Amino acid sequence: MKAIYLIGFMGTGKTTIGKALGEQLKVQVTDCDDAVVENAGKSIPRIFEEEGEQGFRDMEQQTLMQLPSDNHVIATGGGVVLRSENRAHMKKNGIIVWLEASTDEILKRLESDQTRPLLAGGNKAERIQVLYDARKDLYEMTADIRIDTTGKRPDEIIGEIMSRLAESHV
């Protein structure tokens, strides 16, 4: 089986769905953010603070490229689609599933979150909207499979992904 890359905005459930999907498919799961943190030896907010967003993006790219691409589910960070190298790598090595959610639902899920530097300070709803608008086309052009997660339970989302994967003969 080729790798399955989960992409999508912050708060769309990539980590949770990634774990459940890995169990269902009986393959290993890696969360790209966790791998970055492990490689860097520091948290994501600290990486942003000390190395800036570009420093984080360099680490993210390097980590993504090092992850195994066979029999693996990979939950990516929401900004992984920003670099064309990352998009090309995922296209080449796997099938890409986009977890989508409305910005209202994303705001609800991230309302009290303190771990995402790009949403820290200022008006969270506004920040989400600006980033979402800037990235939507990138998710769309990168994805092989698009799943709307708004209002759905994890088991429903997994069911949908499994049937879409079956249709794609993965």
13 interacts with ligand S3P by CB under 6 A: no
| CB neighbours of residue 121 within 10 Å | 7
Residue 138 in contact with ligand S3P, rule: CB under 6 A: no
Please report, for residues 53, 69, 150, the alpha-carbon distance to residue 126 in angstroms, rounded to integers and kept in the order given: 19, 36, 19
The residue range among 73-81, 91-99, 120-128, 156-164 that interacts with ligand S3P, by the rule CB under 6 A, is 73-81
Q: How far is the CB of 169 from ligand S3P (least distance, A)?
A: 28
Let me know if 145 is exposed, middle or buried by CB neighbors in 10 A (0-12, 13-18, 19+): middle
Does residue 77 touch ligand S3P according to CB under 6 A?
yes
**In the numeric block, which tokens belong to residue 127?**
């920040």
For ligand S3P, which stretch binds (CB under 6 A), given 84-92, 98-106, 111-119, 160-168? Answer: 111-119
C-alpha 98: how far from chain center: 8
d(CA 32, CA 38): 10
Q: Measured at CB, which residue is nearest to ligand S3P?
A: 77
Instruction: List the one residue from 27, 37, 40, 118 that touches ligand S3P (CB under 6 A).
Output: 118
Q: Which residues bind ligand S3P (CB under 6 A)?
A: 10, 14, 33, 44, 77-79, 116-118
